[in-house]
Amino acid sequence: MGQEIDHRHFNQADYDLFSRQLGIETALLDNMFSSGQFSRKQAVGGFEIEGCLLDSNYRPASINKAFLEAFNNPLVTSELAKFNIELNNLPRPLKNGVFSQFEKDLQSVFKNADQVAESLQSRVLLTGILQTLDPEDCCVENMTEMKRYQALNRVVVKARNGRPLKLDIDGVDKLKMTHDSVMLESATTSFQVHMQTPWEDAHHYYNAAIIASAPVMAVAGNSPFLFGKQLWHETRIPVFEQSVDTGDKQRVSFGSGFARQSIVECFIENQRDYSPLLPMSFDSKPEKFKHLCLHNGVIWRWNRPLVGFDEDGTPHVRIEHRILPAGPTIVDMIANAVFFYGLTQSYMKHQKAGCHFSFEQARTNFYQAAKLGLQADIDWRGRSLKAKKLILDEMIPQAHAGLLDLGVDNAEINLYLDIISQRAETGQTGAQWQIDHATKNNGDRVDLCKTYLHHQHLDQPVHTWDH
């Protein structure tokens, strides 16, 4: 959830003080990590789902304030735009039975959210990019009234010396435009998967998540359109990367490399290479890592390490896997998460055993998968394979082994990995279904959104959807 601040404007003294406090906390993190003062708790999972509020015409409804007041649930919060919301669940240890329980948890909060929305003559839609969104919807007037978002927009525009943000995406179509705020980011709605790890293995899990990103991305794309243009299978990726561009080091990225000895390397890089954007000063002990977490919160690696705390106050590390779109259904999203957790656990063990994989290959594979989905060519250990074949022949067995290692039983593994297998076999990802529907219906965006919403509430996996 976004960390709120109590300032909209900052001066040089604020930046200087924040930098000093960030330095103290980064050094303390390094020291505490080196001395083993972080949590050894075994793998724990959890999720965040960003959704859209729709009006009766299947257009964005800017009513999240009224929605949140009516819902009054701590697991549901606001997002950047007034037509966005975020659904959360309670984290659980990754062990037998957890994924069926996750599905029940998310079904419950989603159903309740939609009931609240209906009471406001609205509906909740979970999709990577809202099919009916127009450029004028992404305006500052539609920004959620939180100081964090307003300050972020102000500092990004200031860092660019007032120059407009540029969106330039080559896909099946080409989209090139300028924009005057960070609100283009609100076009992208995500399913963010968290994985808490034992501290001593955190860098192995981080590297494994990076390696797993390409196959997960290839089979999970759900965002082929933006403003009526057909672009990438997962167009969220270039949109988010370009919508928070401060003009210096890229804030949204695949990262700069693997962590070699410790996950702390990422936080040291944060302090060294990224200037503060929101220099809010907190009256708290350095051990709370308030400044470090706020600074990390405005650096969006697609796999981002986070510092949090166990219930007893022990600090922990978790990996936030940010590549996945919201939707198409709850069961599809759980299947995507299961595939990610299984691959990451499997490749973590490979990393510990000394198996090496090129970061540059992982990055290239990821962007190819985001562009082309299951038809992407993936460079895998010296071979070039179609993503579809790689997933069916190698990735699903690897994920199965990783899930067994976590203690999940075969019945639950097969339930969710079969959805991934069928999606790969048929080629019908959420993105491909939308492309096919648009092709058959002359690009009718309203009908696409309406039909998608109908299928979503039936909660049948996307590979079974008709048009």
> Could you report the per-residue pLDDT of 333-344, keeping only the tens digit for each?
999 999 999 999
pLDDT, one tens digit per residue, over 93-137 is: 999 999 999 999 999 999 999 999 999 999 999 999 999 999 999
> What is the Cα–Cα distance from 338 to 328, expressed in whole angstroms?
15
The answer to the question of residue 392 being in a domain is yes
- Under DSSP, is residue 354 helix (H, G, I), strand (E, B) or coil? coil
Query: How is 81-143 classified by DSSP, letter by letter?
Result: BTTEEEEE---EESSTTHHHHHHHHHHHHHHHHHHHHHHTT-EEE--SS-TT--GGGSSGGGB
Q: Lowest-pLDDT range, 46-55, 157-166, 170-179, 441-450? A: 157-166
The answer to the question of residue 376 being in a domain is yes
Question: Quick check: 7 pLDDT over 70?
Answer: no
With a CB cutoff of 8 Å and minimum separation 6, the contacts of 189 are: 50, 51, 52, 79, 84, 126, 127, 128, 129, 130, 236, 325, 326
The answer to the question of residue 363 being in a domain is yes
The answer to the question of residue 6 being in a domain is no
With a CB cutoff of 8 Å and minimum separation 6, the contacts of 45 are: 91, 92, 93, 94, 98, 102, 193, 194, 195, 196, 337, 341
Question: Quick check: 366 pLDDT over 90?
Answer: yes
* Short-list 134, 149, 127, CA closest to 82: 149
Q: What is the mean pLDDT of residues 405-426?
A: 97
Q: Looking at residue 8, what is its pLDDT?
A: 60
Q: Which DSSP helix (H) or strand (E) runs through 69?
A: helix 64-71
Question: Quick check: 1 pLDDT over 70?
Answer: no
81: tokens are: 């735009």
pLDDT, one tens digit per residue, over 9-48 is: 789 999 999 999 999 999 999 999 999 999 999 999 999 9
pLDDT, one tens digit per residue, over 72-89 is: 999 999 999 999 999 999
The answer to the question of residue 72 being in a domain is yes
Q: Looking at residue 4, what is its pLDDT?
A: 55
CA dihedral 15→16→20→25, nearest 10 degrees, is: 0
Number of structural domains found in the chain: 1
- Model confidence band, residue 247 (pLDDT cutoffs 50, 70, 90): confident
Q: What is the mean pLDDT of residues 187-215?
A: 97
Q: What is the mean pLDDT of residues 396-408?
A: 97
The answer to the question of residue 234 being in a domain is yes
Q: What is the mean pLDDT of residues 280-291?
A: 95
Q: Looking at residue 6, what is its pLDDT?
A: 56
> What is the Cα–Cα distance from 304 to 59, expressed in whole angstroms?
32
With a CB cutoff of 8 Å and minimum separation 6, the contacts of 176 are: 166, 167, 168, 169
Q: Looking at residue 351, what is its pLDDT?
A: 83
- Model confidence band, residue 308 (pLDDT cutoffs 50, 70, 90): very high
Q: What is the mean pLDDT of the chain?
A: 95
Q: Looking at residue 352, what is its pLDDT?
A: 83
- Model confidence band, residue 5 (pLDDT cutoffs 50, 70, 90): low
The answer to the question of residue 2 being in a domain is no
Q: Looking at residue 2, what is its pLDDT?
A: 52
CATH number of residue 94's parent domain: 3.30.590.20
* Domain of residue 251, residue span: 12-464
The answer to the question of residue 4 being in a domain is no
